[in-house]
A and B are shown apart, each in its own frame.
Chain A
């Protein structure tokens, strides 16, 4: 049984044929398309390491069956930088040391990008902590993560204001 679907992944349209309906979006990315940035930490939607953007919204890709996303636009960590130019959230994670082992980092960053796009108040540490709490970091880099999200959010909104002016 072959199932076909079309996904736009990091701006590139991909025609995908699956031989198995059980394939999750995460396993499709990692094991079949070899986009291994998104990580599997629990496969149960409990840790957030697999967070990606689907049509601009952050989701746990381990809980998403690939065939139910026909036509979706997907952004993974690999699609965030523009060439050598890091996304402001990526840059802020480095500057604020918002990671240690780095395993949860792709999920943290995609979650942060999604959060900022949601227009939540990203200048309030309490709100950021709460809204980033779907992404576990066992190394305990939370202080840097929170600072990075606030910093990047500020830079992104300043950039938007400049663009609008």
Chain B
């Protein structure tokens, strides 16, 4: 076996011992004292407040705005409409690259979804701006809108961020036709909205033709690029600070229309402007997860072995741009079958363009597939876990590639043991708790690809032997300030306190995007590389300096240990960094690192994180009320940088899974196209009381192929598996198979024998 990306000793040797430690968050004190500065916490001198007015129709155009009434309100400074909006250098409807999504920046009087910005009111106070926006009282020419999946559809060749919409291996039709047993089922998932706690916001100041911006973003460099293009200024003139994001989940990945409007408003009034969305305004111009209708067909032998899998997804996108939830693609990697076919279709409706939302594709796709697999297990008369093990994919089913690593069997084993799965009775409706509630147990397999983007980092060792690492990374809660600092310190062979770590600003090296669960891998690998580079330069100085105890040690190798370079064959021989720099007369020495996916490794291996989630639910037999009472997840995702932070990511993901299964759903009024529950009271997300006992098991996994650090990603995988596990547990509790999400008590009424028996 010739491993193409094995870890050579020496050059890629780990220098320190911070990686793997459960450090508490480096930004913890700032966050618990209210000192962490989020974008809207900035109040520069002379600040004005901008408030959006948004469309209350879903399709048509604005025919009148009472601009005079708004202007006349005390404190209002200006009303920005398509009439007086400053020009942009690039049309916000122009697709200059695949990640340039069309924005609504008052380019015309058209309305293409409810909640679209139609004007901006700028005032000296927030109160005046809010009132001014209300005084605009728009009139419209309204066209009939459609917001469901019932209309025309088209074949989607490209889904998600540029993935193929169709894939196949083997002959599905033949394999399905000749299979002994068949399952065919259709599952509906609703539109979901990210609802990060921090509303999208921007504080912006023009200084001549330079821009100073505070704005939460998961992609600093891309935000600079889009802003530069839209405003026709060079990227060097734009500085974006995003030290903390109050959550992102994909909704802050790409520049959004409202933030562009904030920049335009500041230009119009010639003063610094703060623009913050209301919660309601987050349901439209800043993305969401499109609704899906997925049909899964499974053909299997008498023994339960899968012969054919087909996964088809119909999903929504906007009338004016394409983002299609790639839900079928999860089937490429999960279960072995000689014939697999995945397809997608799209339907254009009058909504804001859908966008990446935590586990795009995998979250709804796994919900459907894991439910269908459970249905197949029951049809085969098998335990659902045994069924999954029987159909375990030893290689990636769609491609036949080996996995770079896959500790899924151990995840199943350890999760099942912890949960007590072996005591599960096969038949549904056969367990009760002490209060007479129906109990059910379900399992789901979790998976998410190990993705790498491109990044750069800079490392410095200073005259006093301390270090500095710089990367424009993003902490949206996953713990980048801590985990990346750990990697940075190890890269320099120093303690974390000896290394200054700078991040969260666009004037630092490009860290790519915090998304796709790839940020720690991407930014971490760049930091690791920068550390290697600066240590190599320092080594070069030492081994060529006759005055150094390391003189001539180039061949045996030199490693960094606790602020010293030492001989690899004898760690007692060496000297401090400071001594090397002093003799060389240098104030500091600098190194650079880059990271990117290795195309050769990608060609050769399928790279995914895996996990298994076990759920227990209790269902009131009379009311149908559902409670999740236990969740146990076991995950293998390569090297763990900080187990405390990784556990928190898994818990958060599992709670998102619970939310998908039982809570979240944007409900449209089909007559008007408006969302009826655009707020945090009626768009339900879990509160503390909804969250049961949670356990996350970190399964050890070494992966020499994904990147130099062996890191996969942990941010999104927790949702996958969990949704299906809960749905399957509800079936096991009640005997009712619900094929729409979120599952509510109404779905169980009439279906649970206790309920119908008692006539409730």
A residues at B contact (CB < 8 Å): 19-20, 22-23, 27, 30-31, 34-44, 46-47, 49, 76-78, 80-81, 86, 90-91, 93-95, 97, 99-106, 109, 126, 128-130, 132-146
Contacts and interface: CB of A to CB of B under 8 A. Distances in A.
A63 B475 CA distance: 30
B476 A130 contact: no
B32 A109 contact: yes
B246 A103 contact: yes
Chain A interface mostly = loop
A95 B686 CA distance: 23
A105 B686 contact: no
Given A44-B681, A102-B36, A136-B680, A39 B197 contact: yes
Interface string B607-620: 00000000000000
A102 B278 contact: no
B657 to A, nearest CB: 10
Contacts of A42: 279, 679-680
Could you tell me the dominant secondary structure of chain B's interface residues? Answer: loop
Interface string B647-676: 111011111100000000000000000000
Most chain-A Cβ atoms within 10 A of its Cβ — which of B28, B43, B128? B28
Given A44-B681, A138-B196, A105 B31 contact: yes
Interface in B1-36: 24-25, 27-36
A106 to B, nearest CB: 5
Contacts of B62: none
Contact of A102 (B75, B131, B477): B477
Across the A-B interface, give the 5 residue pairs with the lowest CB-CB distance, nearest first.
A37-B34, A103-B246, A101-B477, A100-B477, A140-B655
A44 B680 contact: yes
Contacts of A137: 197, 688
A155 to B, nearest CB: 15
Contacts of A105: 31-32
Given A101-B244, A140-B654, A78 B33 contact: yes
B709 interface: no
12 contacts: A20-B128, A43-B278, A43-B279, A44-B681, A80-B33, A94-B32, A95-B24, A99-B477, A102-B31, A109-B32, A133-B689, A140-B651
Nearest to A93: B32
B247 interface: yes
B123 to A, nearest CB: 11
A10 B687 CA distance: 29
A39 B37 contact: no
A135 B688 contact: yes
B40 interface: yes
B198 interface: yes
Contact of B127 (A23, A44, A143): A23
B290 to A, nearest CB: 20
Contacts of A93: 28, 32
Interface centre among B24, B476, B651 (most CB of A within 10 A): B651
Contact of B35 (A23, A37, A49): A37
Q: Which of A93, A140, A141 has the largest number of chain B CB atoms within 10 A?
A: A140
Contacts of A139: 197, 247, 477, 648, 652
A103 B38 contact: yes
Contact of A103 (B198, B645, B689): B198
Contacts of B687: 133-136
B740 interface: no
A91 to B, nearest CB: 8
Contact of B652 (A20, A43, A76, A140): A140
User: Which among B645, B649, B652, B653 has the highest number of chain A CB atoms within 10 Å?
Assistant: B652
Interface string B471-491: 000011111000000000000
B477 A44 contact: no
Contacts of B244: 101-103
B568 interface: no
A141 B648 contact: yes
B655 A41 contact: no
A36 B246 CA distance: 14
A129 B246 CA distance: 22
